[in-house]
Structure 1
Amino acid sequence: MRILFFGSYHATYSRNEILLRGLQENGVKIIHCNILNTKNIKKKIKLFQKALSTNFDIIFVAFPAGYFSFPLAMCLRLLKRKPIVFDTFISIYNTKINDHKSIKKGSLVANFLREMERFYFSRADIVIADTLAHLKYYSKEFNIPESKFRCIYVGSNDKKYFPVEMEKNGEIFNVLFFGNYIPLQGVPIIFAAAKLLIKNKKIKFTMIGGNDNNEIYQDMRNFSMLNNLENVEIIPFLHEENLILKLREADLLLGIFGKTIKTNLVIPNKVFAGIALQKPVLTLRTQAIQELFKDNHDIILCKTNNPNDLAEKIVKSYKQQSELQKISINGYKTYIALLTPYKIGKDLKEILQNFLYQKIAS
């Protein structure tokens, strides 16, 4: 099988990195046509012409598709008579309108984004979603039959994220979160839980990510100072290799705790990274997370918008570290069984092969 990996995409972004490696490990030939690499219109045309002269079976429109890539992919399909597989991964409409609330719902721009995504979904031969919950949301929100969608989970790169036995550094129980302080992550819930546990000198919170241009980050820094949260260490952005070192030193990793629509639909990279490192992960009980994980078996789940429950789960984890270790081992087993790049690539290859066989048969 030969796939044209097409669009304006970062090949090193985790979603694309895992798909590319997984497909290649399963014997799929990848032909890159990445118009992100050039702003020169003439070079973009040359890339398009090169794609026209190349033999491939499928046009895979990679994340992010952008406003320019998908119409070009449609032109390619018309000229080459090859199907389009669209990896939506993140809905621009849902993110901007419902999650970040940076665009007013019902506005001209919001309606344009919604119709654009609906158009892309309707014109693709297959649309790839990252969870079954997201798949069902897309189908309902954009009035597209579920049969057009397939689910491919994100997974994690096992060449970067893998277990390393670490010596326990003293008696402090290190609870770690990393992220960029966006609404779905529910960072204020974590800080509220830290405030509840301020008298517990054995539990420390490490918060990695964010910057001074982020309003939530600024609010949480101020909250920490006003409440004298000596149990919270705030660390700005870290490069991935340094971040992984910090993750390995942690005793418990935190997922997401927001209350947006999107929170219920996704399994974030940080959850996959945590289980790949064989670390226990504590996150919100959502529709998406329960597609793969079971509470107190391979993950720890807490209630929505409830700092008290989060604090209680953290204390329980600290007190029952032998049980915590069992959960981390089971989480890693789930990762090995379902979420390595090889397994993700195998699942995607089977989806694409089945589609091509059905197309030939019809």
Structure 2
Amino acid sequence: MKILIVTQYFFPENFRINIVSTYLSRQGHEITILTGLPNYPNGKFYKGFDIWSFKFRSTINDIKVIRVPIIPRFKSTSTALFVNYISFIFSACFFAPFFLRKEKYDAIFTYAPSPILQSLVGIFLKAIGYSNTLVTWIQDLWPEALFLTSHIKNQLIITIAGKVVNFIYSKNDFLLISSQDFRRPVQDRCKDKSIFYLPNPGLFDPHQPGSPEVSKIPPELLQLLEKVCFKVVYTGNIGAAQSLETVLEAAKILINNENIKFIIIGDGSKKDELRKLNAKFNLNNFFIFDSLPETDMEFINKMSSALLVTLNDNQLLNQTVPAKLQGYLSSKRPIIGAVGGVASSIITMAKCGFVSSPGDPTLLAHNIEKLSKLTQLELDEFGSNGYKYYVENFNPNLIAKQLSDILKNNSILIGD
């Protein structure tokens, strides 16, 4: 198939669409990516990718990449983020016809992490004839995500946002959801649409093992990872939704246990605040490092004793599967969760670790200490259980094949 993928984020930014597009290409599909200039998460264009570099066309692993100029996120304030999102929509709609010219695609596939507004680009491109088939892969529920993360209570804004989402859903030929718990709220907004479940994949194909590539791990982190102790590692976004202050409180509780070390790796809006809290309490068991490339994650995960996933307790987050969870499962390491809902259920079903309620540092500390006292054989069993669940549910080659089958079957049904 010839597929146009619309996504505001793409390599070198770390999003799951990178791995999905790679595996689609490996399976013989002709993939074109329409994306923006990379600036996530720090709000600065990556080196060599600013507007004046004129890197608007490139090829990555046989994938054609078309980049349109956008306004960066800067410091990720609400206004800056809104301008960033809108700039991609208008820029993509304006420049895409010049770059794509007379191309015709079997399907336009929109990857839609927050905000789902970028699906408007796919709607526009379908309307002017680039494909008869449009599908959006929903990563977050909108407008619910907007209200839960920005504290917007204005009823007029809520109503308008809801109508925009209804319009977007109605213009898609069918929809994909990344969590089974999204099905009912999405179906309530588009009762006549087919909805398919497609989970986010992990980063690694278990049937194509390779040596982890290590590129930019700082010496201080490498030394800590090689230390003989029980290393609890968190990787990913450090934002309001992740509730990492709960982890810091758990570290305070375990301060006298010299065997347990907490390692936080990532970036986000709450990182500076977390560092200030760490300095305030002068914790010698809690370490924070900058984010690293995806290529380093496999090595870091495998060097850990246990991997940590945390989220705040609210209805939307309980319906969401954190993308890091798939990578954790593939690493054959025990998982400690301070989560509810779907993520908690996965850890429990996979029998790969311990789970506590979100926002409960006492129980989190208890579970970490309990895990640290298990034998290596017991820890390995948790890791093996998680890996088995990963192979059966989140293998990227399997996910790409499922997506390919969905697109083929449903494109035929609507007459593409």
Measured in 2, the distance between the counterparts of 1:172 and 1:8 equals 41
1:156–1:60 CA distance, 2 compared to 1 (3 A): same
Contact 1:21/1:342 (8 A) holds in 2: no
Of 61, 68, 85 in structure 2, the residue corresponding to residue 38 of structure 1 is 68
Of 291, 297, 301 in structure 2, the residue corresponding to residue 237 of structure 1 is 291
1:67–1:192 CA distance, 2 compared to 1 (3 A): closer
Of 116, 124, 134 in structure 1, the residue corresponding to residue 172 of structure 2 is 124
- The equivalent residue for 2:251 is 194
Task: Tell me how far 1:170 sits from its aligned partner.
Answer: 5.3
Contact 2:108/2:122 (8 A) holds in 1: yes
Measured in 2, the distance between the counterparts of 1:236 and 1:294 equals 30
Query: Where does 1:150-161 land on structure 2 (aligned, <5 Å)?
Result: 150-158=196-204
Contact 1:35/1:44 (8 A) holds in 2: no
Query: Where does 1:58-207 land on structure 2 (aligned, <5 Å)?
Result: 58-63=107-112, 70-80=119-129, 82-91=132-141, 93-98=143-148, 100=149, 102-140=150-188, 143-145=189-191, 147-158=193-204, 169=226, 171-207=228-264
Contact 1:189/1:257 (8 A) holds in 2: no
Number of equivalenced pairs: 354
Task: Tell me how far 1:347 sits from its aligned partner.
Answer: 1.1
Measured in 2, the distance between the counterparts of 1:69 and 1:133 equals 22
Contact 2:198/2:403 (8 A) holds in 1: yes
Q: Secondary structure at the match of 1:62?
A: strand
- State yes or no: 1:330 paired with 2:385: yes
- The equivalent residue for 2:102 is 53
Q: Secondary structure at the match of 2:32?
A: strand
- The equivalent residue for 1:21 is 22
- For residue 10 of structure 2, what is the amino acid of its counterpart? H
1:293–1:236 CA distance, 2 compared to 1 (3 A): closer
Of 382, 390, 400 in structure 2, the residue corresponding to residue 345 of structure 1 is 400
Task: Tell me how far 1:79 sits from its aligned partner.
Answer: 4.4
- For residue 325 of structure 1, what is the amino acid of its counterpart? D
Task: Tell me how far 1:124 sits from its aligned partner.
Answer: 1.0
Contact 1:35/1:47 (8 A) holds in 2: no
- For residue 272 of structure 1, what is the amino acid of its counterpart? Q
Please list every run of 5 or more consecutive structure 2 residues that lacks an aligned counterpart in the other structure: 38-66, 71-89, 213-221
Please list every run of 5 or more consecutive structure 1 residues that lacks an aligned counterpart in the other structure: none
Contact 2:344/2:355 (8 A) holds in 1: no
1:84–1:32 CA distance, 2 compared to 1 (3 A): same
Measured in 2, the distance between the counterparts of 1:314 and 1:150 equals 37
1:112–1:274 CA distance, 2 compared to 1 (3 A): same
Identity %: 20
Measured in 2, the distance between the counterparts of 1:278 and 1:113 equals 41
Q: Secondary structure at the match of 1:149?
A: strand
